[in-house]
Structure 1
């Protein structure tokens, strides 16, 4: 079995716009795309990489890039490769996130740390010495961060990939960081782990993608995979609708969940044979089966009320 090596390579950073660079994940699993966004007075880092070693490399890069400007840090959601290096920035940067994300980090962070440490030797190595952070600044829904001549907007997306997803946009550059709401070259990641974590919602995820697609950013930086244009948002929305429709049409016929998973998996792999992350298809079907049951109960309740 090949060991994961989730290491951020800061030397491969590239400029997306004026005073805005991305450290790409290079297609490496459990390495996120990382943003560094500058204004005249401050610099915002988006994502930390997994664990202290990666975070130290990102912090060193950001400090050199900032050249004396104030540092801020934010994360698109609480999952380990995005946020579990944040403690390394303590005392060096102001860490700010939305309220739901802060709550998830506090409530679920310890169990996710334990789970990821048990996955693979390379992952466990990067998570040595992790101390879960406490944000310095927590906002409810929207926060406009003034970096000096450039305002970056942080927004709680609402429950979708996680309960506390956050979208980071740079309006003057037309750049949007989505975290794992969007991936390129892989099936959407559904962290559906009942009974421990069932906050992912395929239905709300579709609604979020529709809202984001309507904004038509110039550049979309996904959680993992190559950056692209607004078509990335539409592509994810289309995939999620297909996943929902193919799952629900089978669920309507009282087909077993196991059979639905088997059939939908085969169909989607045939449709996208080049995509990785096939294990997430099963999780997505299971999530949408649960949401189908919830939706059916809601419809029955509405009918009875009438």
Structure 2
């Protein structure tokens, strides 16, 4: 197992801060494999959005959430099934009601073991956090938009359909104009394409663009991305525009029948030149591969 070359993927609850009334974000602080985690409060309950990587991170999130809830009921949802977002849900068993959309529940069941094995190979620090993981089973599974009443505040949980994953979910707090996007949106980095043929090819660049067009039209005041700094609706525009240019530059080269490797090399250089400050350019090649398959 290779050494993990990044900071340990540990959630730091001490960095939590309020972004709206009774709405807190535990930030990723640009640490790889640490997501932005949300706590959304109403008079009767608190909803936690995402768990962190593995049970020990999730235990810290649960401890923070229990103190924050101060006797209110706890709910948990996850934006999608990937390990740093959902593979700590076991820590909430018996303490919170876990609810997800049906496509995400299917992802967890069908792909969870494979992703657990893959992530454990990323390095010792990651494997350590995944030690003892038990893949979760939701208490409540729904097909379409789910309205969760927390007491004086209704949170909308809405599946988007296939995009970054098959079970992506947007969490919207209408009264505060806040949107949690999961990995449909990141700040300051290239979009994550989990394109791993033949094992996982559910990511769709074409549908992802359509999802982003719809989300952009909603124009939320505050956007909490899967990773990176909290921002506003411009984050949605940035992702939509990047995915569109990635598609266009890939497809114009596909018209010329160039090999996928050549297309990826050319498009990667172009995207880096256009976004020199963005992180994780290694995801560009996987995005090109995905979009070539959808040509």
CA distance in 2, matches of 1:3, 1:145: 37
The residue number in structure 2 matching 1:72 is: 75
CA distance in 2, matches of 1:280, 1:182: 14
The residue aligned with 2:99 is 96
CA distance in 2, matches of 1:114, 1:225: 26
Q: CA offset at residue 22 of structure 1?
A: 0.2
Counterpart selection for 2:197 from 194, 197, 212: 194
Is 1:43 the counterpart of 2:71? The answer is no
Q: Secondary structure at the match of 2:280?
A: coil
Task: Determine the C-alpha separation between the residues in 2 that align with 1:174 and 1:3.
Answer: 34
> Partner residue of 2:139?
136
Q: Residue in 1 aligned with 2:219? A: 216
Find runs of 4+ consecutive structure 1 residues off by over 2 angstroms.
1-4
- Asked if the contact 1:46/1:74 (under 8 Å) is kept, the reply is yes
Aligned to 1:266: 269
The answer to whether 1:172 aligns with 2:175 is yes
Partner of 1:107: 110
The DSSP-based 3-state class of the residue aligned with 2:176 is coil
Once residues 147 and 67 of structure 2 are traced to their aligned partners in structure 1, the CA distance between those partners, rounded to angstroms, is 24
Q: CA deviation at 1:101?
A: 0.3
Q: Quick check: 1:40–1:69 contact (8 Å CA) kept in 2?
A: yes
Q: Normalising by the residue count of structure 2, what TM-score does the alignment of the two structures yield?
A: 0.98
- Asked if 1:31 is matched to 2:34, the reply is yes
Measure, in 2, the Cα distance between the counterparts of 1:87 and 1:106: 14
Deviations 1:279-301 (A, max 9, x none): 10000000000000xxxxxxxxx
**CA apart distance, 1:3:** 4.7
Structure 1 range deviating more: 270-279 or 24-33: 270-279
8 A Cα contact 1:98 1:141, kept in partner: yes
> What's the Cα RMSD here?
0.7
Query: Does the alignment pair 1:203 with 2:221?
Result: no
- Deviation (angstroms), 1:123: 0.3
Find the aligned partners of 2:108 and 2:143 in 1 and give their Cα distance: 15
Segments of 5+ residues of structure 1 without an aligned counterpart are 293-306
Match of residue 20, structure 1, among 20, 23, 41:
23
- CA-CA distance at 1:119 after TM superposition: 1.0
Structure with higher Rg: it is 1
Deviation at 1:68, TM superposition (A): 0.5
**Deviation at residue 274 of structure 1 after TM alignment:** 1.1
> Does the alignment pair 1:185 with 2:188?
yes
Unpaired runs of 5+ residues, structure 2, are: none
Work out the number of aligned pairs and report it. 292
Q: Which residue does 2:9 correspond to in 1?
A: 6
Say if 2:6 and 2:32, in contact at 8 Å, map to a contact too: no
If the length of structure 1 is used for normalisation, what is the TM-score?
A: 0.95
CA distance in structure 1 between the partners assigned to 2:144 and 2:224 by the alignment: 21
1: distance between equivalents of 2:250 and 2:112?
A: 31
- Asked whether 1:151 is paired with 2:154, we answer yes
Question: How far 1:273 sits from its partner (Å)?
Answer: 1.4
Q: 1:4 offset after TM fit, Å? A: 4.2
